[in-house]
Amino acid sequence: MLGGKAGIGNGTKVFHRMMVPERMTSACGAVGMGRAAIEIAARYADRRKAFGQKIRQFEGVSFKVAESVTLLDAARALDYSVCRAVDAGEHPDRVRRLVSEAKKFSTETAWTVVNHAMQILGGIGYTDIFPVERLLRDVRLITIWTGTNEIMDLVIQHEYFREFLAAESTARDVESDARGVEYPEEKEYNE
């Protein structure tokens, strides 16, 4: 994108380019942390017994596992598709949005999953007998660094509006599918 030399005045471009591997490392690392946590919790839920049965037989436990693996699969799929978009050399503005989506979704997924894992472990999950308490602290950090997830929202909406509004004149008019299409005067946009 920038060739061998960035040159004076190109700092923003350098920063944007650096943030691609930075934020994808956060995104993919988050999926790995979430996977580790839920594997620990799943193993524990299969061994730990309460009220005469394995705790994974309680829906309150097993549904947390279900939600966790679903979220992790979704985050992993998003991360793969964003990595492919980066490798394919898609437009830098679009890549910026996709990378921000991957970072935000994957780190928030990991936060949810690690919390589920700690809850499944109960009190022992809060101690350092299992590494889940460390994963919880580490995952909390990655929702903040390489740009907070609020900044990811800022980037996502900014790049979305830019791409969407630029393409609007050539896009199919989906609003014309409405049954009330013959009443355009009903659409009032001013105060």
Ligand X SMILES: Cc1cc2nc3c(=O)[nH]c(=O)nc-3n(C[C@H](O)[C@H](O)[C@H](O)COP(=O)(O)OP(=O)(O)OC[C@H]3O[C@@H](n4cnc5c(N)ncnc54)[C@H](O)[C@@H]3O)c2cc1C
Task: Choose the stretch contacting ligand X; rule: CB under 6 A; options: 61-69, 123-131, 139-147, 167-175.
Answer: 139-147
- Between CA 62 and CA 56 the distance in angstroms is 5
Q: Does 18 bind ligand X (CB under 6 A)?
A: no
The pair phi, psi for residue 35, each rounded to 5°, is: -60, -45
Task: Choose the stretch contacting ligand X; rule: CB under 6 A; options: 74-82, 116-124, 138-146, 158-166.
Answer: 138-146
Minimum Å distance from CB 150 to ligand X? 3
Q: Does 150 bind ligand X (CB under 6 A)?
A: yes
Minimum Å distance from CB 154 to ligand X? 5
End-to-end CA separation in angstroms for the chain? 44
Cα angle: 4, vertex 151, 137; to 5 degrees: 100
- CB nearer to ligand X: pick between 19 and 72: 19
Please enumerate in sequence order all residues whose Cβ is within 8 A of that of 38, keeping only pairs 6 or more positions apart, or say none. Answer: 65, 68, 69, 72, 113, 116, 117
Please enumerate in sequence order all residues whose Cβ is within 8 A of that of 58, keeping only pairs 6 or more positions apart, or say none. Answer: 50
Please identify which residue in 154, 166, 178, 181 interacts with ligand X, judged by CB under 6 A: 154
- CB nearer to ligand X: pick between 66 and 144: 144
CA–chain centroid gap for 144, Å, is 13
Q: Does 166 bind ligand X (CB under 6 A)?
A: no
Please identify which residue in 1, 2, 129, 144 interacts with ligand X, judged by CB under 6 A: 144
Q: Does 29 bind ligand X (CB under 6 A)?
A: no
Q: Does 145 bind ligand X (CB under 6 A)?
A: yes
Strands (E), the chain: 49-50, 53-54
Q: Does 148 bind ligand X (CB under 6 A)?
A: yes
Positions touching ligand X (CB under 6 A) are: 141, 144-148, 150-151, 154
